[in-house]
Amino acid sequence: MNYKMNNQNEIPKLGYGVFKMENNDSSKNSILNALEAGYRHIDTAAIYGNEEQVGRAIKESGLKREEIFVTTKLWNEDMRQETEWDAINKSLELLQLDYVDLYLIHWPVKDKYINAYKKLEEMLEKGLSKNIGVSNFQINHLKELEEKTKIVPVVNQIELHPYLTQKELLNYCKEKNIIVEAWSPLGATKNDLLQNEVLKDIGKKYNKSVAQVMLRWDIENGVLPLPKSANKGRIEENFQIFDFSLSKEEIQLVDNLNKNERVGANPDTFTF
């Protein structure tokens, strides 16, 4: 149920994503549902505005701190303003935690992400985060990071789903021993992936839903999916992906669905 990262630390193979969840009780309850369903990995970010609810849910769950893997992310504006230390301290305060398990650079902000990452290296040293990594980095960003900083990021979190398989970047990360995490692993319902006939056929064979096939395909490819759902039934459904596997041919069939089609911003042209 865990991947081993390049620093030998472990990370649960599936995470619960909380993007777009509001800062209210209903979100806290969804997170509690996820913890109850078995998720032990929560992926938030300062910009999501819901770290407070993640913290409350963890407290209310009664689980021990070390049983839950918590990721949050440094927002772009904090890189531009060079307020990285304030940013992590604010996140920790909202999360009611002494440390996060993983702190990520949210987007490769031009001319800023190298210095920001150097600060993450210091945060790691100080124990504010147990691991550090990046998000939305392309190969050129990773190469620059390798040249100019010391610690290899443990993960790169990117948009990845069957219509955007990211083979080149995925292979590059594998070569460098960087785990790829998938955001919008279901296509965020902005495309027709959930109605895709190839995925439906594979699902029928295993009595699994299209969503479960997509998430299992991630696992087969060594990718760490971060599905989001506010619905208790679908939260549970998305966790039930460890009791079946896909054949080589089926993995290839899903790989072949690639259209290089994004549902979110492009890391080379984002404007926020």
> What is the token pair recorded at 6?
């390049």
Q: Of 108, 145, 107, 103, whose CA–CA distance to 124 is shortest?
A: 103
> What is the token pair recorded at 55?
């913290």
48 is catalytic: yes
For ligand A2P, the closer of residues 114 and 230 by Cβ is 230
> What is the token pair recorded at 130?
């147990």
Q: Is 189 in the site for ligand A2P (CB under 6 A)?
A: yes
Cα dihedral value 264, 12, 240, 195, nearest 10: 10
> What is the token pair recorded at 117?
């990452």
For ligand A2P, the closer of residues 139 and 194 by Cβ is 194
Helix axis angle, 248-255 relative to 197-206, nearest 10°? 160
Find the binding residues for ligand A2P in span 201-240 (CB under 6 A): 209, 211, 227-231, 234, 237-238
177 sits in which H/E element = none
The binder of ligand A2P chosen from 55, 133, 185, 267 (CB under 6 A): 185
Task: Pick the catalytic residue from 3, 16, 39, 48.
Answer: 48
The binder of ligand A2P chosen from 32, 139, 194, 251 (CB under 6 A): 194
Q: Is 17 in the site for ligand A2P (CB under 6 A)?
A: yes
CB of 262 to ligand A2P, least distance (A): 12
Contacting residues toward ligand A2P, per CB under 6 A:
17, 184-189, 194, 209, 211, 227-231, 234, 237-238
Report, as residue numbers or ranges, the catalytic residues.
Answer: 48
